[in-house]
Structure 1
Amino acid sequence: MNFVKFAVSSNGPKLLPFFKTLVLYFLIFPSSENPSILGAALKCLPIISLMFFVFLHGMSSKEEYKYSRRILAGLIFCCVGDAFLVWPNFFIPGMISFAIGHVNYINAFGFKPLNLTVGMAVLALDIGGILYLLPGIQGITLSIGVPLYVILLGVMMWRALARLNSIKDFKNWNKVCSSLGGILFVVSDLILGINMFRFRVNHSQALIMSSYYTAQLSIALSVVDSSHTAK
């Protein structure tokens, strides 16, 4: 608890740009039905703010460097994906950008401990999600690409959750934040997938973006304690 108070108090000012741009996005709330350069910029600004947060905090020592640079790379590719997804015609490039972002997050979280029990549970959820979405997916590219993306997203959540391997790990800011981020990322993409391929979700944009920004904030905050877990 003392570390949480310290982390919040010492890093709060560095997060002000994120919260300011987040408020700006939701105040203007650019419509997803009317894509524009302004809408793309507003959507990307909170993630760009998190990039600066990670760069300013996470690059301060050799121990933190490897973990933080991978989180930073993940944020960069996700930000590119955010811009692509503003325009429906660029959905596939956007999905690829996010997939590369997840690869960087997976590399940051690592594969120790393996925690196969969590992995099997996530795999079951992946299969269920794919089977649910497939009937609404049209075109060979999306029929292959979406399941592959879902699996990769599941691996990212598995590796985030696998780090909580004991009760003691729940006191580790780095591991709790990355795990929360992994879960919320899946929630956000699940709502997006249902809205695109199954049925219209009421207030989908607000639900998708609020869970997405919280996920990215949580993952970015995991660099605060990364010196204790970097490999």
Structure 2
Amino acid sequence: MVAPGDRGRFMVLTGIDGSGKSSLLSLIAIASLTTAGWRDLRHHELPAVMAPDEPTLIKNSMSSLPRAMFIGGHIVAQYEHLVRPQLELGVDVLLDSYWYKVMAKEHILGTSHPILADLCGALPVPDAVILLEVDPRVAYLRKRDSLTSYECMGTTDMKGFIRFQGRLRDRLEEELAGHPALYRVDADRDLRSVLRSATDVVQQCAPTSARMPEQLV
């Protein structure tokens, strides 16, 4: 049994679409750290709808309350299956976005239901949040061949993407303004530089974790 003081640290990595979250989560390598995203729910014995291939299509087929319950259940499942068990084992967790980005998007689109805001407000607060700061125009160059309707406003093209991501960036700033441990990383740079900066921040947030130098040479 892990002593309370040995509980792992819960960290969240977030940012607009195209900020590099998925790439960083696949590359960052620190001892006593697990990285996770919603697709990892597929490794657990859960209904397939908890990690569908096209979650946006499912959301868009629902009215307001079922949509909120679907999103809320998805977020709770991430915490209960990907985060909490690891923390209780003393392992640090870096989770992709948690509820921050999806809640910001729902607000922008006008589809947010009060029950979803209540649920998110009741969930555990991460020990630290790492915000990847990137210009929407830079993000577009990374995402232009794989844009989705949940990343754009109006049309799935450069104009629609940049418009939506600019609003998403502002909304994330609002959501995270009161967090007690918010760290910012300049993600406009090349992936190698961003990886080094993000790794340094994670180690600052969870100082007991040890760097694996061979991953950063």
TM-score category (smaller protein): 0.3 to 0.5
Which structure shows the bigger proportion of residues in strand conformation? 2
**Higher relative contact order (CA closer than 8 Å, sequence separation 6+):** 2
Q: TM-score, normalised by structure 2?
A: 0.34
Which structure shows the bigger proportion of residues in helix conformation? 1
Q: TM-score, normalised by structure 1?
A: 0.33
